[in-house]
Amino acid sequence: MKLRWEARGHHFYDRSTGIHVLLDEIPVEENSRDAGPELLSIALLNACDLDCRFCYAPKAPYRLEPDFVLDICRQFAALGTLEVAFGGGEPTLYPGLGDLCRRIWSETDLGISITTHGHHLSDRLIEELAGHISVIRVSIDAPEPLYSEIRGRPLSALQQRLSAISGRIPLGVNTVIDRTTLSRLDDLAPVVRKLGAIDWLLLPETSGGSFQLTATEWETLDRWIAKHWEEMPLLVAEEAVPHLNCPIAFSCENGGYAHIRADGALCRSSYTGAGLPLTGQPIIEVLARLAQ
């Protein structure tokens, strides 16, 4: 179990089980706190073979080199980062994804999550990832027929692929919340339960770095979470927490998240366009500049 020293206390994390334990009774002096973010997300590439209407990923054909990713992960692990989250684009299109995860798992103490549409989770890739990542997060925004309208693939095909993961790799579900998917949460809930998801992450739609929900839609989402949060582990994007009043599951501390784009720039989040290059300077200095 890894220990991270934060402003809010001593934070323990077990990457194999995904368990977080926060001891907030023990104060941590500012000069003793870990400098790295709690969670680092990395867009391995921008390419994706789907064309979802609310995707905000850049379309420029960038892709990070495996040695660069491994070096970055080593450095952030040494700065107290607990988890690396791989996304894109579509990370299962990244050549050598299984080998990259195996090396990070064996050479660092980071937990690893992969966010994917799931349709390329072949038996071979599942075999390569099993035992070398903490969780696979699959994007399922609605039940049928809306799922197929959004993703251009049948939900039944995805469910068949996910059945091969059961008992081998923990599974989480991500859902983008917009006007249409918000109204189908009750219908999607049985699908999420049947998959045996360890949690359900609700991601209000963004465009240009801003949330797109109306005040009424935020209220509807708030009421839905308040009604269902005791039935299943619900999470929301960190930036969405201030818009909600309902109980919410464990989230990163303020400033506990950073993102690396597929062009190698470090950003405050995947929603923001501005970033700082990581090459040629210590990461801790780039993090300090980013925090200014």
Give the pLDDT of residue 253.
52
Q: For residue 248, what pLDDT band results from cuts at 50, 70 and 90?
A: low
Percent of the chain with pLDDT over 90: 62
pLDDT tens, residue by residue, 52-80: 777 766 667 899 999 999 999 999 999 99
Give the pLDDT of residue 292.
74
CA distance readout (Å), 70 to 99, 107, 252: 11, 9, 23
Question: Roughly how many angstroms between the first and final C-alpha of the chain, as a whole number?
Answer: 32
Q: Residue 290 — left, alpha, or beta (φ > 0 → left; ψ -120 to 50 → alpha)?
A: alpha
> What crossing angle do the helices spanning 185-195 and 155-163 adopt, rounded to 10°?
20
Sheet holding 2-6, edge to edge: 2-6, 9-14, 19-23
Give the pLDDT of residue 37.
92
Residue 104 has pLDDT above 80, yes or no: yes
The domains of the chain are located at 2-291
Give the pLDDT of residue 273.
64
Q: For residue 180, what pLDDT band results from cuts at 50, 70 and 90?
A: very high
Three-class secondary structure assignment of the chain:
CEEEEECCEEEEEECCCCEEEEECCCCCCHHHCCCCCCEEEEECECCCCCCCCCCCCCCCCCECCHHHHHHHHHHHHHCCCCEEEEECCCHHHCCCHHHHHHHHHHHCCCEEEEEECCCCCCHHHHHHHCCCCCEEEEECCCCCCHHHHHHCCCHHHHHHHHHCCCCCCCEEEEEEECHHHHCCHHHHHHHHHHHCCCCEEEEECEECCEECCCHHHHHHHHHHHHHHCCCCCEEECHHHHHHCCCCCCCCCCCCCEEEECCCCEEECCCCCCCCEECCCCCHHHHHHHHHC
Q: For residue 255, what pLDDT band results from cuts at 50, 70 and 90?
A: low
CATH superfamily of 2-291: Aldolase class I (3.20.20.70)
Give the pLDDT of residue 244.
86
pLDDT tens, residue by residue, 5-62: 998 899 999 999 888 898 988 888 988 999 899 999 999 999 988 877 777 666 678 9
Residue 254 has pLDDT above 70, yes or no: no
Question: For all residues of the chain together, what is the average pLDDT?
Answer: 89
Q: Is 112 exposed, middle or buried (0-12, 13-18, 19+ CB in 10 A)?
A: buried
Give the pLDDT of residue 121.
95
Lowest mean pLDDT among 74-88, 122-136, 246-260, 270-284: 246-260
Q: Which residue has the higher pLDDT, 110 or 254?
A: 110
Distance (Å, rounded) from C-alpha 180 to C-alpha 12? Answer: 38
Residue 223, C-beta contacts closer than 8 angstroms, at least 6 positions apart: 246
Which of 116, 166, 160, 164 has its CA nearest to residue 138? 116
Q: Which residue has the tokens 């501390």?
A: 253
Give the pLDDT of residue 214.
92
